């Protein structure tokens, strides 16, 4: 079996890359261990920039899937009972369910699919990648997340990179609880950890409630999650004794040391490339944009997939994703004894929350959609 481009991983990075390559007339195959639809640990919202980049028909998408307009956020500190509410004139994000969103993008890509297929072997022979001794392609893309086999093959196990560890659960809200919850569907809530090493979220999307917490310290994640859930229950943000189907996930953020993401005939995209935002931990936008940039580079290479021809991808992605983490810098330089005081005061300042936390860290309103 042969194809022009073989993509390992069918999440937003892989499916977006496949979609754009198919538009250019290339024969593309996507291989994924999972079968779709499948769930993914994620708060689950996308910005208008992502909607534009994907040319998403929002009316058609929303007819059969969750698509919750978000017009603002409440931001606070876990354990404190004061929040700062910020609202905008129109939608600044849209709540989605990853089981629906990822499946939609993969179907729309119009690529050949091999789902439920584990990767057992990857080797190269005379300029052709051979995967599972069955699929041949001159161009291989690793889009399989933080544990991507293509990434391991290219660079081995990366050590010393900052990792976000997260726990998340999403469940349908019982009809009897929907009116009593103190959380608005169009205003998600974000609560930072007192040590500034992570944050939790509570996002209501139609009939579903998504709650999670991500941190840079994996050892304290279970205890921090339990404290966060108790805090939300006490504030009536979530129903008591809610049946949480907790799932965990770990991924690298865009920080040094960086993984090599380009080789002759091979590229890494999305979490496999380690490009999640270093400020918010967001990964969907970076996944989509890395997929688009990879496709652009492959099309421009015109069948000549030497490393020199593919290197522009790394430069483009670095330019798009560059940016140091102010939240991380604060966590490192502020003494532990005053972190809670400093964070509490900053998160009670509406201007800081709007222009720094939301506009810059979470919504990236200073960036136009890719290609605009």
What's the pLDDT score for residue 74? Answer: 98
Q: Which two tokens stand for residue 306?
A: 């030497």
As separate numbers, helices (DSSP H) first and strands (DSSP E) second, the chain gives 11, 19
CB 96 within 8 A of CB 205: yes
Percent of the chain scored above 90 by pLDDT? 73
5-44+97-159+255-321, CATH topology level: FAD/NAD(P)-binding domain (3.50.50)
280 vs 11 pLDDT, higher one: 11
The structural domains of the chain, with segments of one domain joined by +, span 5-44+97-159+255-321, 72-92+163-252+334-362
Residue reference for tokens 């929040």: 83
**Highest mean predicted confidence (pLDDT) among 62-76, 152-166, 205-219:** 62-76
What confidence tens digit (pLDDT) does each residue in 285-342 have?
999 999 999 999 999 999 999 999 999 999 999 999 875 444 555 555 556 666 667 7
d(CA 246, CA 61): 27
* Type and span of the H or E element at 301: helix 284-301
Give the CA distances from residue 78 to residues 54, 190, 195, 270, in Å, rounded to whole numbers and listed in that order. 35, 9, 10, 30
3-state secondary structure of 184: strand
Tell me which of 2.60.40, 2.20.25, 3.30.420, 3.30.9 is the CATH number of domain 72-92+163-252+334-362. Answer: 3.30.9
Say how far apart CA 134 and CA 33 lie, in whole Å. 16
Q: Which of 119-128, 184-193, 278-287 has the lowest mean pLDDT?
A: 278-287
Give residue 155's pLDDT.
82
Please state, in angstroms and as integers, the Cα–Cα distance from residue 133 to each residue in 114, 119, 129, 254, following that order. 14, 10, 10, 33
How does DSSP classify residue 219? G
Q: What is the pLDDT of residue 324?
A: 44
Asked if residue 37 has a cis previous peptide bond (ω within 30° of 0), the answer is yes
């Amino acid at each position: 079996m042969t194809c022009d481009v073989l993509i390992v991983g069918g999440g937003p990075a892989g499916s977006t890359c496949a979609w754009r390559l198919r538009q250019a007339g290339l024969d593309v195959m996507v291989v994924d261990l999972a079968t779709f639809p499948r769930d993914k640990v994620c708060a689950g919202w996308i910005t208008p920039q992502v909607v534009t980049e994907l040319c998403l028909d929002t009316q058609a998408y929303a007819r059969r899937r969750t698509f919750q307009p978000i017009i603002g956020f409440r931001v606070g500190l876990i354990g404190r009972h004061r929040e700062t509410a910020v609202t905008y004139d129109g939608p600044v994000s849209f709540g989605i369910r990853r089981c629906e969103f990822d499946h939609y993008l993969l179907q729309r890509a119009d690529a050949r699919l091999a789902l439920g297929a584990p990767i057992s072997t990857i080797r190269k022979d005379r300029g052709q990648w051979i995967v599972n001794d069955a699929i041949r392609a001159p161009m291989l893309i690793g889009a399989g997340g933080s544990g991507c086999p293509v990434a391991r093959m290219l660079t081995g196990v990366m050590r010393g990179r900052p990792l976000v560890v997260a726990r998340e659960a999403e469940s349908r809200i019982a009809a009897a609880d929907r009116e009593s919850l103190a959380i608005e569907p169009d205003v998600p809530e974000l609560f930072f950890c007192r040590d500034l090493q992570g944050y939790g979220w509570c996002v209501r999307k139609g009939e579903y409630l998504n709650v999670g917490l991500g941190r840079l310290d994996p050892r304290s994640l279970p205890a921090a999650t339990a404290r966060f859930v108790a805090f939300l229950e006490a504030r009536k943000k979530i129903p008591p004794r809610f049946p949480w189907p907790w799932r965990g996930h770990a991924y690298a953020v865009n920080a040094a040391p960086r993984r090599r993401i380009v080789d002759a005939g091979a590229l890494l995209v999305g979490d496999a490339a380690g490009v999640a935002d270093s400020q918010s931990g967001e990964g969907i936008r970076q996944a989509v944009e890395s997929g688009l940039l990879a496709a652009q580079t492959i099309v421009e290479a015109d069948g000549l997939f030497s490393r020199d021809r593919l290197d522009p991808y790394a430069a483009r992605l670095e330019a798009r994703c560059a940016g140091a983490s102010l939240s991380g810098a604060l966590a490192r330089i502020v003494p532990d004894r005053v972190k809670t005081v400093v964070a509490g005061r900053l998160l009670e300042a509406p201007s800081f929350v709007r222009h720094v936390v939301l506009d810059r860290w979470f919504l990236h309103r200073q960036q136009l959609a890719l290609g605009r």
